[in-house]
Structures are given as C-alpha cells and as structure tokens.
C-alpha cells in the first residue's frame, strides 16, 4: 500500500457522512472499521492511532505503516501538506484482557512526535472517516523527560514546549489510556504508537517550509525537511 492507493480508497468511500462524533459514534466506528478492513486487505498495516477527543467523546484515527517516516533526514513535499503539529506520543502494547491495560499504560515512556497533516481527501465524509487528515508521523527514538524546542522552517521560527507542569505527562497518559481502552473494545490488539493531541495547533506550510528540528538537551530528536 502507498499513499496514492490509500487516497483512492478514501476518496471512493460513500458511507462516511455523519453529523458529529457525539451523535453518531457507533456508526462512525463501523464506517471506520469498513475502511480499515478494505485498506488492510490490500496490504496496509496499522502502526498507530491518533486519539481524538470531541465533545467529551474519544475516537481513534488509524496511522498505517506507509505513514511512519524516518525521524532523521526525511523530505516531504510542501504541495501535499497542510502543515505540521507537535505531539507527545507513546508506544504501547494493547493487551487482549482489559485487566492488563493499566500496567501497560503505566509502563509506556513518552516520546515526542511530529504529525504531518494533509488536506481532506473525501469531501463528502466526516473527518474521522478521512482519518483526520493524517499524512504521516515522525517519532523520536528516545523518550522525552523534560522541556524541548521545535525550530521550524527557513524562518527558524522557535516553539518552546514545557513539560514541567506537575500533571503534564499525567494528562497525556490519560489520553493514552482512552486510546488503549478503545483498541481493546474494538478488537485492535498489537503494539501501536498513540498520538495524544497537538501541543500548539497547526504550523502551516508557510512557516514550516524548510528544515524542522525537535531539540532536547542539545540533541536533535527529529529532523524533517519540507520542500
């Protein structure tokens, strides 16, 4: 599976028009499962999930193998993108038994990630059936334990992220927990990345054009070039 094949399947999907996650949650999950089944039958492999909260309801958005990019030296085309977002990410094993969820969540270490966003593919479908406009993700190889910085694009725009609030990682782990619980409920059992939500919103391609680096303790954890 590649992005062209993926886009064609999403574009052709006709059962994704809904009002809201809150009002149509079960139907949206069913529509998602239909799309995921079609994609996986053609060779796509789920590697992670974006955990999305809307009106107090949490829903999953799949990230596939061809959407996982190397965290150093990757080049991505500006014309295919809307921009990037910085997030905290966890890799967590989803257990078969709900009783094992808490231990697995507690054992997961926080990573920093860049999510790359794209324009909507299917203009008739609800966002969750267009998988929240995810083009791909880049995830740090090492856990993040303290503050970090994003230096973005030719303008060298700097964004500083503080993790010093007492409940910073606790709140992100709560999002992880919701994601793992949903995977167990829906029968998606494997080791996955879980994206826990944007830290400062979309950074558009007018800003992120060029090299974008996530830096912590003097080390470059992620480097991606938008060209």
Name the pTM for this structure.
0.95
Distance CA(15)–CA(32), nearest Å, equals 9
Angle at alpha carbon of residue 150, lines to 52 and 63, rounded to 5°: 35
pLDDT score, position 7: 97
Question: If you average pLDDT over residues 95-111, what whole number do you get?
Answer: 96
Q: Answer yes or no: is pLDDT of 55 > 90.
A: no
Considering its fold, how many domains does the chain have in total?
Answer: 1
Q: Give the pLDDT of residue 129.
A: 96
H, E, C per residue of 138-170: EECCCCCCCCEEEEECCCCEEEEECCCCCCHHH
User: Model confidence at 54, in pLDDT bands (50, 70, 90)?
Assistant: confident
Q: What is the pLDDT of residue 66?
A: 98
| Mean pLDDT, residues 6-17 | 96
Contact yes or no for 46/163 (Cβ under 8 A): no
Q: Find the CATH number of the domain harbouring 189.
A: 3.90.850.10
pLDDT per residue over 164-180, tens digit each? 998 999 999 999 999 99
- At 23-45, the pLDDT tens digits run 999 999 999 999 999 999 999 99
Average pLDDT estimate for 210-217: 97
The per-residue pLDDT for 81 is 98
Domain of 96? 3-65+72-226
Mean pLDDT within 3-20: 96
Read off the pLDDT of residues 120-176 as tens digits, 9 standing for 90 and up. 999 999 999 999 999 999 999 999 999 999 999 999 999 999 999 989 999 999 999
Residues 226, 209: Cα–Cα separation, whole Å: 5
190-199 pLDDT, tens digit per residue, is: 999 999 999 9
Q: What is the CA radius of gyration of the chain?
A: 17
């Amino acid at each position: 599976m590649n992005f062209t094949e993926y886009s064609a399947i999403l574009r052709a999907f006709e059962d994704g028009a809904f009002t809201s996650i809150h009002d149509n949650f079960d139907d949206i999950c069913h529509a998602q499962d239909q799309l995921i089944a079609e994609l996986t039958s053609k060779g796509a492999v789920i590697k992670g999930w974006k955990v999305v909260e809307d009106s107090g309801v949490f829903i999953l958005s799949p990230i596939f193998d061809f959407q996982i990019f190397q965290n150093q030296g990757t080049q991505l085309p500006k014309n295919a993108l809307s921009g990037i977002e910085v997030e905290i990410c966890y890799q967590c094993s989803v257990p078969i038994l709900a009783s094992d969820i808490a231990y697995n969540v507690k054992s997961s270490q926080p990573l920093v990630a860049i999510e790359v966003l794209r324009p909507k593919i299917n203009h008739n479908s609800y966002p969750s059936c267009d998988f929240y406009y995810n083009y791909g993700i880049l995830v740090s190889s090492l856990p993040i334990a303290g503050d970090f910085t994003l230096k973005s694009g030719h303008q060298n725009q700097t964004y500083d992220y503080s993790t010093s609030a007492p409940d910073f990682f606790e709140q992100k782990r709560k999002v992880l927990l919701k994601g793992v619980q949903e995977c167990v409920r829906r029968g998606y059992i494997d080791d996955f990345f879980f994206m826990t939500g944007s830290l400062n919103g979309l950074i558009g391609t007018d800003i992120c054009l060029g090299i974008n680096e996530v830096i912590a303790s003097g080390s470059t954890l992620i480097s991606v070039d938008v060209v």
